[in-house]
Amino acid sequence: MQTSEQIAAMFRGYGVSHFFFVPVILPEALKQMSAMGITPVMCHGEKAAAYMADGYARVSGKVGVCGAQAIGSSNLASGLRDPYMAWVPVVALSGVPGAATRHRNLYQDVDDHGAFEAVTKWNGHVPDDSRFPDLLRQAFRTAASPACRPVHLEIAGATGATGDAPAAGDGRAEARYGIAPSDRPQADPAAVAQALSVLAAARRPVVLAGNGVARSRATAAVRAFAEAAQVPVVMSLNGMATMPYHHPLYAGVAGQYGADGANRVLLEADVILVLGSSLGSMTTRNWTLIPDDATIIQVDARGEEIGRNFPVGVPLVADVQAAVVQLTAGISGPAPQAWLDRVAELRGEWRREIAAAESSAAVQIRPERLFAQVAAEMAGDGIIVGDTGHAGAWSARHVQLRDGQSMVRAAGSLGWSLPASIGAKCALPDREVICLTGDAGFYYHIAELETARRYGVNVIVVVNNNRSMNQEARLWDAGNTDQARNWTFTDASFTDVARGFGCHGERVDDPADFAAALEKARASGLPAVIDVRTDPLVVAPPSYGPDA
């Protein structure tokens, strides 16, 4: 067996189905991967390769894998920022010039090892082929173990191992580390009992479901707990797929981009069961949404996150799914009916406030109408891959997921959604994947439409095209024409761009035409772009808080 065969066989042993890369990295191993049924996906930028691996990992529950040659490694590192912030398991590989040429002005030689330190859980170095097997095992073991995060291996040689030598070392794969999280530690039973006692005494209990619910594949468990305890559920933007929009216990998406009703529910709670959220600035609207007198029960696999931002009454250091199952087994009774009625009142008030915008027939299209339409028209098991910025704000307030649908979203990197949606579609080719982005986000990695076309990855891209970054208009004195080019764009046709890449393109100017455009995109059998022209004067309003 050659080294290249050994590497490919190990990836197959970890259940890897796609390797996202920019040439040239492990060229002989990539050929062997293809022969073994693993699809190498060559894209147009190292950052996009990392985002694809990120999207793949988020929807599949597997470890995403990406790579780049030495000269592209700093770009690869920048792409790991989002999965690092979102606690996603990604294994990134890059080449590094060998010791014989170090400090001799080798063409393109820069020591990029340090660039990975801030965005990885572990940053390793493979000095020669004999060490690749055990260090690759350590990479998967580290990425998939709680708490999951990206890891990086730099491989001696600008393009990594070439596979020209006989394989050395033990080439076994540890399949359990191809799935994340690999382990599900339970909470201390005494702490579980204490949490149940606090919940039983609560008059206004709330579950706050964060990104950790999705990472732990705990959606069904959280729903079962909420229904057994009759406790309303608010979600962070990254946890918004926890409950379907029309479930009676759905209380909305809270936070900086959140729904006003959800923020008000949090502010009135006396006990908050926090599941997989670090209670950071976005979820808590800059730390203003957690009442001073509320008791927090915080569940997180990362003990260091518990109590970081707010005093915690009951800490549960555990996998979210495991802890929720423990809590469900001990539920003693439902939340007070008066509180459920109050939550329903707040939810109803909010939905009445936004109803006119979500049903508006205006041309130019209201973004509220567009974002409400996307989930309503999406397939019953569809996945939205959403961007940040205005795309995040409109999603939190107006995307209405049905049972069976899901959503993943950028942790903060504008432009993430297109490459991430390609990775998601590679992982789950039989499900409809809709990239939901704005024009500013779409421009970042628009070249990856060609990648989708080349590999037959038929994502559907819905662009909220307001020909601007109008979220930033206030910074540039929106009425000042001399500054307009700092926040407005040329009125380009994304329909023509899509067709130029050999993809399908649709333009929508009237909201009544969106459903038909989506159906045409599906029927095309191609990656598709739906260029939806929205009103550039409509910006997401500030969310509700105690200072509002």
Look-up: residue for tokens 């939340």? 335
CB 159 within 8 A of CB 128: no
- pLDDT over threshold 70, residue 163: no
- pLDDT over threshold 70, residue 158: no
Lowest mean pLDDT among 10-24, 91-105, 193-207, 284-298: 91-105
Any domain includes 545: no
CB 259 within 8 A of CB 397: yes
369 in the same domain as 342: no
| pLDDT value at residue 114 | 93
270 in the same domain as 174: no
CATH number at residue 41: 3.40.50.970
pLDDT band at 521 (very low <50, low <70, confident <90, very high): very high
| pLDDT value at residue 97 | 79
| pLDDT value at residue 413 | 96
Section 453-470 average pLDDT = 96
Nearest CA to 507 out of 536, 527, 532, 534 is that of 532
Any domain includes 43: yes
Domain count for the chain? 3
Name the DSSP class of 365: B
| pLDDT value at residue 108 | 75
DSSP H or E stretch at residue 28: helix 27-35
435 in the same domain as 512: yes
Name the DSSP class of 534: B
Strand, coil or helix: what is 85?
helix
200 in the same domain as 291: yes
In the chain, pLDDT over 70 holds for what percent of residues? 99
The dihedral built from the CA positions of residue 197, 202, 206 and 208, taken in this order, carries a sign that is negative
Enter the pTM of the model.
0.96
Look-up: residue for tokens 């095309």? 524
pLDDT tens for 389-426 read 999 999 999 999 999 999 999 999 999 999 999 999 99
171 in the same domain as 23: yes
pLDDT band at 444 (very low <50, low <70, confident <90, very high): very high
- pLDDT over threshold 60, residue 162: no
112 in the same domain as 226: no
Look-up: residue for tokens 């709330």? 206
CA distance 135 to 133: 6
Mean pLDDT, rounded, of the chain: 95
Domain boundary, last residue among 150, 178, 206? 178
Domain encompassing residue 396? 359-533
DSSP H or E stretch at residue 531: strand 528-533
Domain boundary, last residue among 293, 315, 346? 346
pLDDT tens for 364-373 read 999 999 999 9
| pLDDT value at residue 101 | 78
pLDDT tens for 275-296 read 999 999 999 999 999 999 999 9
**C-alpha dihedral (51, 119, 132, 42), degrees to nearest 10:** 20
CB 233 within 8 A of CB 251: yes
161 in the same domain as 195: no
| pLDDT value at residue 161 | 62
Any domain includes 116: yes
pLDDT tens for 111-129 read 889 999 999 999 999 988 8
- pLDDT over threshold 80, residue 160: no
Any domain includes 354: no
Q: How far is CA 91 from CA 83, 94, 111, 121, 140, in A?
A: 11, 10, 19, 10, 7
Domain boundary, last residue among 135, 157, 178? 178
Any domain includes 141: yes
368 in the same domain as 327: no
Any domain includes 541: no
Any domain includes 351: no
CA distance 376 to 400: 7
Nearest CA to 431 out of 371, 372, 384, 387 is that of 384
468 in the same domain as 408: yes
Here the tokens at position 94 are 């890059």
The pairing of strands 460-465 and 433-438 is parallel
pLDDT tens for 173-200 read 999 999 999 999 999 999 999 999 999 9
pLDDT band at 471 (very low <50, low <70, confident <90, very high): confident
pLDDT tens for 417-438 read 999 999 999 999 999 999 999 9
**C-alpha dihedral (434, 436, 439, 443), degrees to nearest 10:** -60
CATH number at residue 242: 3.40.50.1220
| pLDDT value at residue 480 | 78
CA distance 48 to 54: 10
340 in the same domain as 367: no
In the chain, pLDDT over 90 holds for what percent of residues? 88
Here the tokens at position 197 are 């006692």
Section 452-459 average pLDDT = 98
- pLDDT over threshold 70, residue 164: no
Strand, coil or helix: what is 304?
helix
pLDDT band at 1 (very low <50, low <70, confident <90, very high): confident
CB 420 within 8 A of CB 410: yes
pLDDT tens for 88-98 read 999 999 998 77
Section 228-248 average pLDDT = 96
202 in the same domain as 122: no
416 in the same domain as 341: no
CA distance 530 to 70: 37
pLDDT band at 50 (very low <50, low <70, confident <90, very high): very high
Nearest CA to 244 out of 349, 381, 357 is that of 381
- pLDDT over threshold 80, residue 459: yes
Section 64-87 average pLDDT = 96
- pLDDT over threshold 80, residue 12: yes
Any domain includes 167: yes
| pLDDT value at residue 543 | 94
Strand, coil or helix: what is 376?
helix
